[in-house]
Amino acid sequence: MKFFVVLSLSILLFACNNSDNFIPKPPTYLRLDIPEYKYVRFQDDCPYTFETSSLFTINKAAGASCHKDIDLGPLNGDMFFSYIQVEEPIARYINYAVDKVDEHKIKATSIIDTQYIFPEKKVYGTIFELQGDVASPFQFYLTDSTDRFISGVVYLNAVPNYDSLKPTIGQLKKDLTHLIETFEWK
């Protein structure tokens, strides 16, 4: 009986020493290949102008003259860009934009806000980067602090898996930062 136990253990130990054992690989995600692009100035009859990626397509939103639906092209998403002529105290519009960001706190692992203040252009605003498996990775608002207000929300056409969307989110952050830094009121 001892001989059988020792023989079984020896066979088992030698079988475990095989270096050709199959080890499953973790799932991977496709690399983001974005074609070369440049920034182009967007300008129409609306009271604002900005530079955006030449890969993006800007369309007039249904029912509102200065609301825009921006197709993010190879980034596979949409940005909804809303213009509001201020009729109430500006704080009400800002609080509404911040409340919309707060709706994502349940899923967000972190919310990073970056403020932009350009007094020479009368452009003031904040961009919110929502990290984690959230429906909207970026939201922002811009205002002249008295009469005009812009709200922007980005949605990606993918399951919100933050790790797999990280390259897209990084590219979006770069493009949104450029949009905000070049934004001007007419």
Q: What CA–CA distance (Å, rounded) separates 52 from 79?
A: 12
Is residue 17 predicted with pLDDT exceeding 80?
Answer: no
- What are 120-144's pLDDT values in tens digits? 999 999 999 999 999 899 999 999 9
Fold of 39-185: Protein Transport Mog1p; Chain A (3.40.1000)
pTM for the full model? 0.81
- The token duo for 46 is 């609306």
Q: What CA–CA distance (Å, rounded) separates 131 from 126?
A: 16
18 versus 123: which is more confidently predicted? 123
Q: How far apart are the first and last CA of the chain?
A: 93
The pLDDT mean for the chain works out to: 89
- What are 100-113's pLDDT values in tens digits? 999 988 999 999 99
Is residue 76 predicted with pLDDT exceeding 70?
Answer: yes
- The token duo for 81 is 């860009």
DSSP assignment, residue 166? Answer: H
Domain ranges of the chain: 39-185
Q: What is the maximum span of the chain, computed from C-alpha positions, in angstroms?
A: 93
Is residue 181 predicted with pLDDT exceeding 90?
Answer: yes
Is residue 11 predicted with pLDDT exceeding 90?
Answer: no
